[in-house]
Amino acid sequence: MLADAILTIRRANEAALRRRLALRSQRHPIVLVDRWLGEVETLVEANRAPVPEPLVREISGFLRRLDGRLYRRLRRNRGRNSLKVLDVLFDAEEQLL
């Protein structure tokens, strides 16, 4: 009887952990986009127009998997204008929500 109770508790704990991990994996894309939005907004506030190429590469890798249209809009922005990157990120965030 005690062994059954311990087994039930262990299974409940494992199920709760799986639910938490699933929720975290669902929220991960939103967290990424929010972080990028913050970085690009900081650039806009500092009047630094071009977004650094490593950041654009990171964002474009994500957008390629999320939405090809947004990916193409980002890559068409050859000058890496921060306002245009910000616009694409807002559209990506809207899609994720």
SS3 readout for 22-90: HHHHHHHHHHHHHHHHHHHHHHHHCCCCECCHHHHHHHHHHHHHHCHHHHHHHHHCCCCEHHHHHHHHH
pLDDT reported for residue 87: 93
Q: Which of 73, 72, 67, 75 has its CA nearest to residue 92? A: 67
* pLDDT tens digit sequence for 18-71: 888 777 767 788 999 999 999 999 998 988 779 999 999 999 999 999 889 999
The model's confidence at residue 3, banded by pLDDT at 50, 70 and 90, is: confident
pLDDT reported for residue 1: 80
Q: Which two tokens stand for residue 23?
A: 């929720």
CB atoms within 10 A of CB 8: 10
- Contact (CB, 8 A) for 92 and 30: no
